[in-house]
Chains A and B, each alone.
Chain A
Amino acid sequence: MLSHFVIGATSGLYIGDLLFYAISFIILIALVKHFAWGPVTKMMDERANKISGDLDYAEKSRNEATDLAAKRQAELNKSQTEATNIVTTARQNGEKQRQTIVDQAQSDVTTLKANAQKDIVQERADALKSAQDDVAALSIEIASKIIQKELNATDQKALIDSYIEGLGKQNGAR
């Protein structure tokens, strides 16, 4: 038992063990590195990179989203103003058009009324003329019947006309 406390007291230093452990430990490190350490640390690095990348990406996305929201708000405001403009313009146009139509109608009505008045005046003049003619013819017929004499309608017409004129004047004076 004491031999363990005094190094190499009985069987000498086991130099071979030192060599064996040094070499096999290096081999063990190489094996562990190749089969476990390498892949795992690579995976851990990858994960760390991915996490930091994802965080960056999330940050970027959030900024983009904020930008988009601001842009959308601006667009919304712009389109609202535009809509107001459009409505205002349409209302003004409508107003103008209405005014035009009303003016047009008024002028039409005025023209129509003037025409109608002219027509009426014309009609009355025509009617008066035709009545004059009728009365002349009738008077001639009556006179010829009375005097049993064929009066030349054309010769006498001037006379009758002046007579009727005189009647008319009498009527007008009355």
Chain B
Amino acid sequence: MDEESYVVKFLGIPFNITNVVSGLLAMVLVFCLVWFLSRNLTLRPKGKQNVLEWLIDFTNGIVSTNIPGEQGKRFNLLAFVLFLFIFVANQMGLLIQVIIGGKTLIKSPTSDPMVTMALALIVLLVSHYFGVMIFGVKGYLVNSYMRPVSFMLPINILEEFTNFLTLAFRLYGNIFAGEVLLTLIGSVAKSHGLVTTVVALPLEMIWQGFSIFIGSIQAYVFVTLSMVYISKKVEVEE
């Protein structure tokens, strides 16, 4: 996991090519998946259409439990894409790791803090944008920072940062740790020939299974918490 990444400076802005390429791959995979699933839609769903509708119902369920009513409907698409993207990104590193010349080219994009912070930032911006759009600037400030009482203001402001950071690093930490352990087990397998390989193989399999589980749970948790944070901004707390 400690391999170097390609870093390219473009217009003075540093780009981590590893993140760009693997993120792009994850997005292409997500798009291909939904594109494939949404071909030949019929009024009576069958086969793959059922899968897609189940996914949509699942993410809609996450949204509607946190943001009830009509208000939540506009976040359905965001939750759907966010969930699919994080899910695919989490599982990607378990299936493929492309390392060229000692530099990683493809891994789980979510095992990099910049990527998870980018996702958290999107959620953060969306929540503030809709907070302002629904309540106006003044209402947004009152609703977001002065509730339940005005002396909570510093804590509320601090919470904005902690929410953002915990949202990003929870995902990053889980996926990164999973990959670290996978790499460690992999290096154990290679260390002392056949004996360690035989020992490490079931360990690797168990950990990979567990990582799949963690990846799914984290995608769910990320989307759920995103919706919780958004609901704090777009709904009046009693």
Interface, chain A (partner B; CB < 8 A)? 1, 3-4, 7, 11-22, 24-25, 28-29, 31-33, 35-37, 39-41, 43-44, 46-47, 50
Contacts and interface: CB of A to CB of B under 8 A. Distances in A.
Contacts of B13: 15-16, 19
A81 to B, nearest CB: 51
Nearest to B33: A36
Interface string B116-138: 01110110000000000000000
A50 B27 CA distance: 34
Contacts of B78: 29
A32 to B, nearest CB: 5
Given A17-B19, A19-B13, A40-B38, A32 B113 contact: no
The SS class assigned to the A binding surface is: helix
B118 A21 contact: yes
The SS class assigned to the B binding surface is: helix
Interface residues of B, number: 45
29 contacts: A3-B2, A11-B14, A11-B16, A12-B14, A13-B14, A15-B13, A16-B10, A17-B112, A18-B114, A19-B13, A21-B23, A22-B122, A24-B23, A25-B27, A28-B30, A29-B77, A32-B30, A32-B34, A32-B77, A36-B34, A37-B56, A37-B77, A39-B38, A40-B38, A40-B53, A41-B76, A43-B42, A43-B45, A44-B53
